[in-house]
Amino acid sequence: MNKNLKTPINRRTFLLGGMALGAAVPALALSGDNKNIIGQSYPNWMKTPGGQIEAYGNVAKYEKHIIRHKAKDTAQTQLFSVWHSPIENQQGIITPNGLHFTVSHNGVPDINPEQHVLKIHGLVDKPIKVDMQTLQRYPMVSPIHFLECAGNSAPNAVSLTALDLSAQELSGQVSGAQYSGVPLKYLLKEAGVKTRGKWVIAEGADGGSHARSIPLSKLMDDAFIALYQNGERLRPEQGYPMRLFVPGWEGNANVKWLHRLEVTDQPAYTKDESGLYSDILNDGKIKRFSFHMDVKSVITQPSGKMILPVQKGFYEISGLAWSGYGKIKQVEVSIDEGKSWQMANLQGPVLSKALTRFSIPWQWDGKERVILSRATDEHGHVQPTRSQWREQYASYSFNHFNAIQAWSVNSNGLVENYYV
C-alpha cells in the first residue's frame, strides 16, 4: 500500500480534531443578547401572504441562473448540439431532468407516443411490434445509473495547454438519474432469438436514424427500454417516448427515440460507430468498439472559474466518481499535485454503474495548491494521469478521456484548470 495513503476521515474524527487535509472547523460565533440575534424587524416575505403554487413545479427564481450550457468546442447547428450539465452546482448523485446533459445528432423529433411502435425483427422466430400501451403492461425495473457521453472532457484530451474552463464546460457531459423501464430480455425471449443471433442493431426514430450495434449478451443482461426518468416520462431531448439504456456504456449506445431492434449475426458498423465514436490508438490502429466508460472522477467543489470566498480557512472538497464496470471502491484526494494522497469519504449509496459522491475536509492555508482526485473501481481499474492516457491514443483522439482532473488554486482563491 502507498505509505502516503491514509485512512478515511469520518465525521467523528472531523469534529474532534485535526487531520492531514483539514482541521475541525469552528462554529460561527454569534454574540449579543437574544434581541440582537433575532433582530428587531422582519423581512417582507414574513409580513404578507405567499404566492400561488403552480401546476408543474419550477425552481426558485433565485436559482434560474443554474442551467445547461452549449458546448463551446463543437460546431453548433440546429441539428447537432451538445448541452453540458452544471455539475459544480449540484449535490447528491441524481441530476434534475431539466439539467441532465444532452446530445442530439439530428435535432429532437416530435414523436406522438400513440403512433410510436417498437419493432423487433431479424434473426428471430417471431418478429413483434410493441406499442407504448403494451409496454406499460410488462414488469419494470428502476435502477439508478450514470450516463456519460464518449466525448466528455474532450478539451483536456486534445488541447496542449490547460484551457480556462469550468467543471461544467470540461466534464459536464455526465449525469445521474433513476430510470424506469422494461428489461429487454423479456421482449427478446418473446421474439425468440435464433442461434445465429449475436448482435442487435438499435435504431432511433430521429431524422438521422442514429443507430448502434450492441452485443446480444449485453441486451440479455442488464439493458432495458427506459420509459421514465426520475419518476416522470422521458423528456423529448432524452428520447421520449422510449430509449435504449445499456448501463455503464458510452452515451451514444443508449439509443434515443428507439423504434427498431434488428437481431443479426454481426455488427453493422453504422456511420456513427465507425466514424465519430471510434477510438484511434497511437500506433494508428482503431478500436472497433469501446463500449464501457472507464473509471473516472472530478472534483466539482472547488473547481474551474470559482473564487474561494475566504482566502484561507476551512472548505470541503467534494466531487463525483463513476465507472462503467461497476461500483466505485475508493477515491483519493491530493492537495499537493499528487505527491501525497488522502482517502476521501464516499457518501452513500454507492451503487454499480452510478455516480458516487465523495468528499473530504480541507483546511486551506492560503497558499497556492493543486488539488486532484483519483478513483478506483471494484474491479481494480484506476484512473490514469493525463500522460498515461495520452500514451495510448493518437494526439487527435478525444473519446473516452478519463484522466485525472487537476485544479490549481492560487493565493487569491482563483481556481483554474491545470495539467499534471
Element (H, E) at 389: helix 386-392
Return the C-alpha cell found at 215.
Answer: 452485443
Domain 103-287, CATH = 3.90.420.10
- Strands (E) across 243-312 are located at 243-245, 258-264, 279-280, 286-287, 296-301
373 near 319, Cβ under 8 Å?
yes
Question: What is d(CA 299, CA 68) in angstroms, rounded to the nearest whole number?
Answer: 19
What percent of the chain is predicted at pLDDT more than 90?
Answer: 76
325 near 296, Cβ under 8 Å?
no
Please name the residues in contact with 206: beta carbons below 8 A apart, sequence gap of 6 or more: 104, 105, 106, 107, 108, 109, 256, 257
Closest of 231, 232, 290, 235 to residue 257, by C-alpha: 235
Length of the chain: 420
10 Å CB burial of residue 66 (0-12, 13-18, 19+) is middle
The single-letter code of the amino acid at 325 is: Y
To the question of domain 296-418 being in CATH 2.60.40.650, the answer is yes
Closest of 136, 169, 128 to residue 151, by C-alpha: 169
Cα separation values, 158 from 75, 85, 292, 372, 417, Å: 16, 21, 21, 20, 14
User: What ranges do the domains of the chain cover?
Assistant: 103-287, 296-418
Element (H, E) at 388: helix 386-392
pLDDT band at 18 (very low <50, low <70, confident <90, very high): very low
Question: What is d(CA 21, CA 342) in angstroms, rounded to the nearest whole number?
Answer: 8
Q: Would the pLDDT of 3 be above 60?
A: no
Q: Would the pLDDT of 7 be above 90?
A: no
Question: What is d(CA 190, CA 208) in angstroms, rounded to the nearest whole number?
Answer: 29
Question: What is d(CA 279, CA 285) in angstroms, rounded to the nearest whole number?
Answer: 9
Per-residue b or e along 309-342, where b marks 16 or more CB atoms closer than 10 Å to that residue's CB? eeeeeebebbbbbbbbbbbbbbbbbbbeebebbb
Task: For residue 218, give the DSSP letter.
Answer: H
Question: What is d(CA 347, CA 147) in angstroms, rounded to the nearest whole number?
Answer: 19
68 near 99, Cβ under 8 Å?
yes
Return the C-alpha cell found at 288.
Answer: 472497433
The pLDDT tens digits of the residues spanning 347-392 come to 999 999 999 999 999 999 999 999 999 999 999 999 999 999 999 9
322 near 153, Cβ under 8 Å?
no
The pLDDT tens digits of the residues spanning 232-252 come to 999 999 999 999 999 999 999
The pLDDT tens digits of the residues spanning 265-324 come to 999 998 878 777 878 888 888 888 889 999 999 999 999 999 999 889 999 999 999 999
pLDDT score, position 77: 61
pLDDT score, position 279: 84
129 near 190, Cβ under 8 Å?
no
What's the longest Cα–Cα distance across the chain?
Answer: 81
pLDDT band at 16 (very low <50, low <70, confident <90, very high): very low
Read off the pTM: 0.90
pLDDT band at 8 (very low <50, low <70, confident <90, very high): very low
Task: For residue 269, give the DSSP letter.
Answer: -
pLDDT score, position 412: 94
Closest of 323, 164, 329, 142 to residue 230, by C-alpha: 142
Strands 232-233 and 211-215: unpaired
The pLDDT tens digits of the residues spanning 187-203 come to 999 999 999 999 999 99
Return the C-alpha cell found at 242.
Answer: 422510449
Q: Would the pLDDT of 262 be above 50?
A: yes
The sign of the torsion formed by the CA atoms of 111, 117, 121, 124 equals: positive
pLDDT score, position 282: 86
pLDDT score, position 4: 44
Please name the residues in contact with 183: beta carbons below 8 A apart, sequence gap of 6 or more: 139, 141, 222, 223, 224
Element (H, E) at 119: strand 117-122
Is-same-fold flag (103-287; 296-418)?
no
Kindly state the average pLDDT of the residues 34-61: 84
pLDDT band at 332 (very low <50, low <70, confident <90, very high): very high
